[in-house]
Chain A
Amino acid sequence: MIGSAKVRALLEDVLRRSKADQTEVLLMGQDAALTRFANSAIHQNVFERNAELRVRAVVGKRVGVAATNDLSEAGRQRAAERALAIAERQPENPDFPGLPQPAPIPSVHGYAASTAGATPEQRALSVKTICDLALEQQFNASGALRTDCSEIAVANSLGVFAYDTFTSTSLKTVMMGPDEGSGYAERASVDMEQLDVEALAREAVDKTLRSRGPGALPAGEYPVILEEYAVAELLDYLAYVGFGALSYQEGHGFMAGRLGQRLVSERISIWDDGLDPRGTPMGFDFEGVPKQRVDLIRAGVAAGVVYDTQTAAREGRQSTGHALPAPNSFGPFPMHLFMAPGEASREAMLRSIDRGLWVTRFHYVNVVHPRQAILTGMTRDGTFLIERGELARPVRNLRFTQNALEALASTQAVGDRLLVVGGFGGATVVPALQLGRFTFTGVSSQ
């Protein structure tokens, strides 16, 4: 890590060098390590140190961006000059509202020394714990343990300066046993000490034992219990197609024209909150704007979308602090999603289903129809038929093709515990769900 004082000096140096009307400098630095395992042994083990400087130069309403990871004086000068030259050589963008003004940045605690100081040996020993438990059962363990330490800083010529350091760690494992059994477990946290490696391994072992010898089950509509992993996947994709202001304004996201309308069950509330310490907190976005909590779905009703400076200006409002790094044609994005927990235990949800499916996780989800929030994907690593309130038997993986809003509209119960799962860029914090209807359109087979 470069450190706050040096980073501030670097950014202020670039601001001084820039001859643009307005200038923004974003620095994203990281020490990222990842230990990957397969066949119950480490097969890939990597470390990366990088820091990128991204200069956004504004001339009138013309904007140019130049990025470099050459932080030398020559590199900084070149980036400032290139950004200006790009801005000067293009037509004006009447939509551009200017860079954001400074605002107080809330303090968050997104750093843990245990993660920042994790050594290759520590990661390897955690992996060994998982592999040893898998090998006891003659299972095959694979997965990845990531420990990242990053620093993000934003400064602009209007007086914005924001800096913070962050850590994040995630641990995932897939176990495979005889007779096509497989299991999964995942945890994410700011603090590596919070990862209970053995509990995670035992969860995957248990699932692998239970899922041996999956049988065929015809495609069709079933009530389902979605574990937190599956719920997080659905939520991430909903965010991707609908919770940002751009898809709302352009009319192709599922939230467009529906604010204030009931979209899903009143049991469902979804929001984004970069300040909540239960996720991976971050006090500001990539424009240096303080992050705000934004209610997206409140008791089933479409409540809002997230904004950056440009999309906010179109509606005459303030950014909610959800900008991605410039240049960004995707628009603002919620990176810290939460779904409200309910009161149902997993056991109670299971007991209440006469015939249905238990889904551990989804695989390779993709958007079929963004306006209607129709998604497709596969189940994976533990899909079970529920009969008379019990897990009757494992079944082969199924393909779903489902309007995610209609699925959430059929919510019958919401789990009483929250799990932190790695999301698109941050973390997603969700409960398990019991849904009345979920449409499976195919079965995996040779």
Chain B
Amino acid sequence: MRDFTNRALDTAQALGAQYADVRVERKEVQSVTVKNGRVEAVSETDEQGFGVRVLVHGAWGFASSARPEAEEIDRIAALAVAIARASALTQREAVDLGAAVKSVGSYRTPVQRDPFAVSLDDKIALLLAADAGMRSVPGIGVAEGSMEAQRIARTFASSEGSYLEQTLVETGAGIEAMAVGENEAQKRSYPNSFGRHQGTAGYEFVEALDLVGNAPRIAEQAVQLLSAEQCPSGLATIILDATQVALQVHESCGHPIELDRVFGAEAAYAGTSFLTLDKLGAFQYGSEHVTIVADATVPRGLGTFGWDDEGVPAQRTVIVRNGRFENYLTSRETAARLGRFSNGTMRADGWNRIPLIRMTNINLEPGPWRFEDLVADTDQGLYLETNKSWSIDDQRLNFQFGTEIAWEITGGKLGKMYRNATYTGITPRFWNACDAVGREWQLWGVVNCGKGQPSQSAHVGHGAAPARFRNVQVGVL
């Protein structure tokens, strides 16, 4: 492999690249979907390729190919250089990567049970058992379960001397039950929405989910939701379950702290960020109960790895400390503009994509509250579970989320069920209205984080616990 990477780097430098890196990747994915008692889809995908990223006179170029042949290495390296020279036609400022990074080593996701070694029969049997559990509940129209295993073998080499080999393994699964009525359809998911919950782990991750044991419960709730009352509107105290807190962190903290976004790199697509540079170290993002960290070292997180795709080691960075905004997610280029070092968050969605600043595991640190105490301490309010819809503006300020299910809280107790719950707010006002964070903390996986053009889908993690927020607008639907 060193011959391969050396050839790419040497060619790029010989043609004028002041900096070059190359990633060679092989990705295997196995996915299984069952639906209504039948195997809906089983597939295995095997993909390989390499990408060469170069800086020429301070301008970026990138080219990639699926054909790992000697002539193609030369062609792609030369094309990357030519693209960088074209980029320079509009240059206003040369890119500065800061101090050189030389990392050498290897990393492998710790796995107890290789998900690719588990038989397809066992995976199908597990999903069909959960499917049967959901369909045992009268009124379920669509029952669906899915499972995925992914293995990426990645080699990274740079002209600064980095040479890294990483093997990252992910495993995940989930189930959904949908009840369909007159002009109404209601869905419940477990353990999370978006199809599945996933982590950097082996098949033990799926076994611990107890899909079969939870199947009847979510199916019953889906059916009950058809006749549940519409969630009321108004200002309310709300408690979010950990999965919804995870998505709230994702959209309203994880994205606005991406420093490339702050500098305008995503302006034409997903937008910019309200967390402008003047707020760094001087902005009360949330209440004293809110501490958020970016931690690429925590076990089983989807944002856990050895080094990022610039060769910067995985690390833990405090983003918000007791409500005060302290740090961004950075790359070498963006950190250098602040006179800092990268905190290691550049990740690419495959050999054919450039690395972008991506969330690692962006975690809300746990608080002291047991969930039952949190509810008992709430006189009137709502408990909202499991994300159903999400939307946020182009500065990450005005958000609206919907959840699959909500529960009335009266006199410190959970009461009746509501359907079609939504809540909306403005990011810093919302987080400053957080007056309690639970202790039942768990790391959740989000497998559909979109960013960049051409689009890239990242797998990211969020540690979260139930949390309470005061005076929130609910029920605009």
| Chain A residues packing against B (C-beta within 8 Å) | 32, 34-52, 62-70, 78-79, 82, 86, 89-91, 93-95, 119-121, 123-125, 127-128, 131, 140, 142-144, 146, 172-174, 176, 250-252, 326-329, 363-372, 374, 376-378, 380, 397, 399, 401, 441-446
Contact = CB atoms under 8 A, between A and B. Distances in A.
Contact of B42 (A64, A365, A397): A64
A401 B453 contact: no
Nearest to B80: A47
A47 B90 contact: no
21 contacts: A38-B263, A38-B264, A42-B59, A45-B86, A49-B65, A50-B49, A65-B41, A68-B45, A69-B48, A93-B38, A120-B61, A128-B90, A146-B454, A173-B268, A327-B42, A327-B43, A329-B33, A366-B389, A376-B422, A380-B393, A446-B397
B185 to A, nearest CB: 4
Contacts of A66: 43-46
A327 B41 contact: yes
Contacts, number: 266
B89 A47 contact: no
Q: Give 3 closest A-B pairs by Cβ, nearest first.
A: A327-B41, A120-B86, A252-B185
A397 B87 contact: no
A211 B178 CA distance: 44
B41 to A, nearest CB: 3
A327 B40 contact: yes
A44 B76 CA distance: 16
A44 B60 contact: yes
Contact of A142 (B42, B48, B183, B267): B267
Contacts of B89: 42, 121, 124-125, 128
Given A40-B92, A42-B90, A397 B33 contact: no
Interface in B208-238: none
B178 A252 contact: yes
Interface of B: 31, 33, 35, 38-49, 59-67, 76, 79-80, 82-87, 89-93, 119-121, 124, 128, 141-142, 144, 146, 178, 180, 183-185, 263-271, 274, 352-354, 388-395, 397-398, 400, 402, 420, 422, 424, 426, 428, 452-454, 473, 476-477
A86 to B, nearest CB: 5
Given A399-B424, A401-B477, A442-B400, A250 B142 contact: yes
Given A42-B89, A251-B141, A442-B424, A69 B49 contact: yes
Given A43-B87, A399-B393, 13 more contacts: A38-B266, A42-B59, A46-B454, A69-B48, A70-B46, A86-B44, A120-B85, A125-B89, A144-B269, A144-B453, A250-B178, A441-B400, A445-B397
A83 to B, nearest CB: 8
A93 B40 contact: yes
A364 B35 contact: no
Contacts of A365: 391
Contact of A376 (B39, B84, B391, B452): B391
A444 B395 CA distance: 9
A364 B393 contact: yes
Contacts of B424: 399, 441-442
A334 to B, nearest CB: 20
Contacts of B185: 251-252, 370-371
Nearest to B84: A45
B120 A442 contact: no
A65 B42 contact: yes
B71 to A, nearest CB: 13
Contacts of A94: 38
A173 B142 CA distance: 42
Most B CB within 10 A of own CB, among A48, A93, A127:
A48
A48 B454 contact: yes
A396 B5 CA distance: 50
A49 to B, nearest CB: 5
Contacts of B33: 327, 329
Nearest to A258: B183
Contact of A329 (B40, B61, B392): B40
Nearest to B425: A442
B86 A121 contact: yes
Given A252-B178, A446-B428, A86 B43 contact: yes
B64 to A, nearest CB: 5
A115 to B, nearest CB: 16
Nearest to B424: A442
B248 to A, nearest CB: 15
Given A121-B89, A329-B35, A67 B44 contact: yes
B360 to A, nearest CB: 21
Contacts of B65: 48-50
Most A CB within 10 A of own CB, among B40, B180, B398:
B398
Nearest to A399: B398
A57 to B, nearest CB: 11
Contact of A45 (B87, B120, B388, B473): B87
B62 A67 contact: no
Contacts of B46: 66-70, 78-79
Contacts of B44: 65-67, 82, 86
B393 A378 contact: yes
A442 B474 CA distance: 12
Contacts of A329: 33, 35, 40-41, 144, 146
Contacts of B35: 329
A366 B354 contact: no
Contacts of B90: 37, 40-42, 124, 127-128, 131
Nearest to A325: B43
A347 to B, nearest CB: 28
